[in-house]
Amino acid sequence: MSMSYLTTGIKFKQMKILITTISIMFIIILGCTNEVEFNERDYIIENNTNFKLNIKFYNKTSGSGISGLSGILDSQGLRLNNTIELTSEFDDFRVPFVGADSVKIVLNEDRLITYTYDSGSKVFSEPINRNLFRHSNYENIGNKQYLFKITQQDYENALPCDGKCD
């Protein structure tokens, strides 16, 4: 009879350990869900000239344009918006236009500005203080919105094309 109590006691103890283990696993699985938090910023490029602007973002590796990031700003005050969501913190140095590492801006069909960012060497093309890929070149206008104004000075500093720019 004492053997029967011993066997029952061992089975009860094993059952208790199993129930405790299952309960702990259940709490861990349901209690520690990692929700992905998105960080969002809205980058705005505004035409502050009296000229038509054609802005095209590219990926130098593939040589192709990035759809959804390009646009024509044919009068003053028009804006090109790009909302960016990341699952990590933003790098306060580089604007992450997804998939793009270069941009061409044609001003008035006769002048050209090109900006690039090399992610391998982390180098911005000149002039760095006007490069669209550099976050510090944008004005924080509140509510997670950042504004870059293309100005008459940009037009004057742009390279003249030999004829009509493409």
Q: Is position 7 within any domain?
A: yes
Q: Do residues 21 and 45 both lie within one domain?
A: no
Indicate the range of 43-52, 88-97, 126-135, 140-149 predicted with least confidence.
88-97
Q: Is position 9 within any domain?
A: yes
Q: Report the distance separating Cα 134 and Cα 84, nearest Å.
A: 14
Please name the residues in contact with 37: beta carbons below 8 A apart, sequence gap of 6 or more: 87
**Strand blocks (E) in 6-100:** 39-47, 53-59, 64-65, 71-73, 79-86
Q: Do residues 26 and 59 both lie within one domain?
A: no
The per-residue pLDDT for 80 is: 72
Q: Is position 165 within any domain?
A: no
- Does the CA dihedral 17-21-22-26 come out positive or negative? positive
The per-residue pLDDT for 88 is: 58
Q: Do residues 22 and 71 both lie within one domain?
A: no
pLDDT digits (tens, 9 = 90+) for 133-159: 888 899 999 988 889 999 999 999 999
Q: Do residues 62 and 143 both lie within one domain?
A: yes
Q: What percentage of the chain has pLDDT greater than the value 70?
A: 62
Q: Is position 166 within any domain?
A: no
Domain that holds residue 61: 39-160
Under a CB-based contact definition with an 8 Å cutoff, are residues 100 and 117 in contact? Answer: no
Q: Do residues 108 and 47 both lie within one domain?
A: yes
Look at residue 16 and give its three-state secondary structure: helix
Q: Do residues 67 and 131 both lie within one domain?
A: yes
The total number of structural domains in the chain stands at 2
